[in-house]
Amino acid sequence: MESLINELMKLGARRDRLEVKLFGGGRILSTMTDVGKKNITFARDFLKLEGFKIAAEDVGDVYPRRVLYFPATGVVMLKRLRALDVSEIAQRESNYLTRLAAKATGDDVELFE
């Protein structure tokens, strides 16, 4: 986020005119670690530390969102989508974690493109 702010300022943005809106961070897979909550906490803490106020937000909960943002006007259109049947996704993630744990650990490095 710091890099984003710095790049905006390099392009001529004024810090006092930046408007912050937060969206997302939903916990789609209740059986997995709540990464969304950690991201929300990080974003809020960072913004507070940097002196930014949050103009709008819709974060957390268990549903996905569709967000349309219009930078010229600052308008955001948000649609909360139905909670997904994530049982298949959760099963795939669980299988993946099992495969990772079963792999022998070592000093090998696998390169890929």
**Segment 31-76, tens digit of pLDDT:** 667 888 999 999 999 999 999 999 999 999 888 889 999 989 999 9
The boundaries of the domain holding residue 64 are 2-102
Q: What is the CATH number of the domain that holds 56?
A: 3.30.1330.200
20 domain-assigned: yes
Instruction: Tell me the pTM.
Output: 0.68
Q: What is the DSSP letter of 32?
A: S
pLDDT band at 78 (very low <50, low <70, confident <90, very high): very high
111 domain-assigned: no
Q: Which of 26, 19, 3 is nearest to 76 (CA)?
A: 19
Contact 53, 43 (CB under 8 A): no
In the chain, the number of structural domains is 1
Structure tokens at 23: 């969206």
Q: Helix (H, G, I), strand (E, B), or coil: what is residue 64?
A: coil
pLDDT band at 93 (very low <50, low <70, confident <90, very high): confident
